[in-house]
Amino acid sequence: MRALSKKTDLPPDLIVQCDEGPCPEDPAQPPDVDDGPPVWTEETKVLLAAEPSFKKTLELMHLDMKKEASIELWSLHEKLPRKRGALIGLSKAFFELGDFYRSLMIVLRNYERYLEAPLSKTPEDLWLLAYPQAYWDNILAYARKYGQDPYFIAAIMREESQFNTEALSPAGARGLMQVMPSTGSQVAQMIKMRGFDGGKLFDADTAINIGTWYIGLLMKRFKGDPYIASAAYNAGPEAVASWLAKNGNSRDRDTFVESIPYMETRGYVKKVLRNYAEYKRIYGKTAALPSALDQRPPDSAGAAKEQYAEAGVRNEK
């Protein structure tokens, strides 16, 4: 289930509050005025570099104070003109600070319409920012350990939390993978994770470890089908099993998706599968994202054993 609220220090105007986002009034919706696709040019680099807050961000970054740098950088998001692609530079800067949530929010808030445009009209940088390889070392490690596709894990994570490590739903689901504490506790026992408590779901490595194992559980139960596994991640495996039984376990996945009785889950599955397709398309051929923080500050500075009862672990949210 995607997060409905965020445990974060972002301004309230950036917090998603509806079940199927973005909401009509959500600031992630692009503004009415726009002067064309965002392009990261020399002019925009100069524009961003001239901002005192950006200079301070560079100083903090080179002092390895990334959290403080991210907060300082966020103060620029309402100041920079959207024309000339200046906000793309800001999104890139957050990306390089490892703040993938703020990076993505800037893209969704200002440029989401270009992600629906023909591929030839959308700058490649925008795709890399919209579908980042966030926490990629962690994802790769646990995808390999549990025999999963890392792009599917990233697709689930993007929809669940939008890469916000502190995402918190009203039901209590936590972290990047929106795992309930009770589910986290069960999975931690299965994988022999020591010292687990619910607060550790806000840690990226712990969340990805537990979430990937749970996805592996669902993929095993539903025969490796990402359509059905993503539905089960959102609505629960028992609900999905009952839908399949009613529909005769149809092999037509489009029919299955449209037959999902929960509107939220139906939309969720479509978004996750879109994410999954984009990740595979983008990273099969793209180069690394060019840097926005390439300046210098002033001188002032093996698969685990799966011994479990499948019905005993559910991420009820």
Rounded Cα–Cα distance for residues 31 and 23 (Å):
14
286: CB partners within 8 A, 6+ apart: 124, 127, 128
Q: Which of 59, 159, 160, 278 is catalytic?
A: 160
Q: What is the pLDDT of residue 314?
A: 67
pLDDT beneath 50, residues of the chain? 1-32, 286-288, 295-311
61: CB partners within 8 A, 6+ apart: 69, 97, 293, 297
249: CB partners within 8 A, 6+ apart: none
Of residues 122, 125, 124, the one with CA closest to residue 113: 122
Task: Tell me if residue 160 is catalytic.
Answer: yes
Rounded Cα–Cα distance for residues 29 and 109 (Å):
5
Task: Annotate 206-261 with DSSP letters as a single string.
Answer: HHHHHHHHHHHHHHHHTTT-HHHHHHHHHH-HHHHHHHHHHTTT-S-HHHHHHH-S
Q: What is the pLDDT of residue 37?
A: 58
Q: In the chain, which segments carry CATH 1.10.530.10? A: 136-285
Q: What is the pLDDT of residue 211?
A: 98
At position 263, the amino acid (one-letter code) is: M
Rounded Cα–Cα distance for residues 154 and 161 (Å):
11
The architecture CATH gives domain 136-285: Orthogonal Bundle (1.10)
**What does the radius of gyration of the chain's CA atoms come to, in whole angstroms?**
20
pTM over 0.95: no
At position 40, the amino acid (one-letter code) is: W
Q: What is the pLDDT of residue 5?
A: 37
Max CA-CA distance within the chain? 69
The CA–CA distances, whole Å, from 227 to 2, 116, 253 equal 16, 22, 7
Give the ranges where the chain is alpha helix by DSSP (H).
42-49, 52-62, 66-74, 86-96, 100-111, 124-130, 136-146, 150-161, 181-190, 204-221, 226-235, 237-246, 253-259, 263-282
In the block, tokens 């100041």 appear at 79
